[in-house]
Amino acid sequence: MEMVLKYFSEFTETQLRQIALLKDLYTDWNEKINVISRKDIDSLYEKHVLHSLAIAAAFSFDEGTKIVDLGCGGGFPGIPLAIFFPGVHFHMVDSIAKKLKVVEGVAEAVGLTNVTVQHSRVEDIKDKKFDYVVSRAVAPLQDLWRWGKPLIQKTNNATRSEDAPAPGLICLKGGDLAKEIQESGTKPYITAIKDIFEEPFFEEKYILYVPK
């Protein structure tokens, strides 16, 4: 938790309590449903919470914004972002129902009221639109953009604050991305997370942003 507070200091008492609860909650859930590598559970705040919050360090979202987390797994990046942005709604989608049980359990335990879940394959979501799609290490960029683009609604620029990015896809990726980006046919804006967080874990980890 100290690692999160090293970079983010303007938390309310409620947010501090919610973040502090995550370690025990994920440790407990992981014993029932394995959603985090067992060797990583002791590094939860660095490898999962802080990694997710890289998006919060790079982007600001307006209150009332709707975000879908595609292939959310056990809740990353959506759960940490939902704590950070209590006025933003996060719709957590995964094709594996037992992972969504973890998301629902964690969200309920920490008192998140801005999280909903949907058991579905991404390509089967037909009836919902969002301002942003977020994802972490789920699929190649080409697939994320193909799945995510139809879900992104266009918003009136006049209603969006200057700090908020245009609607689009925001994903966390790692490694050499040149081939993946070329194959996607997109031209993402790329932020190196090592320029935000100094820990060695974040070397060769990036935020890719593709506006619609």
Q: Would you list which residues are annotated within the binding site for S-adenosyl-L-methionine? A: 71, 76, 122-123, 136
Which residues, in sequence order, are CB contacts of 118 under 8 Å at separation 6+?
91, 92, 93, 100, 125
Annotated binding-site ranges: 71, 76, 122-123, 136
Q: What share of the chain is helix, strand, coil (3-state, %, to 5)?
A: 45, 20, 35
C-alpha span between 99 and 71 (Å, rounded): 10
What is the chain's alpha carbon radius of gyration, rounded to the nearest angstrom? Answer: 16
Phi and psi torsions of 81, nearest 5°: -70, -35
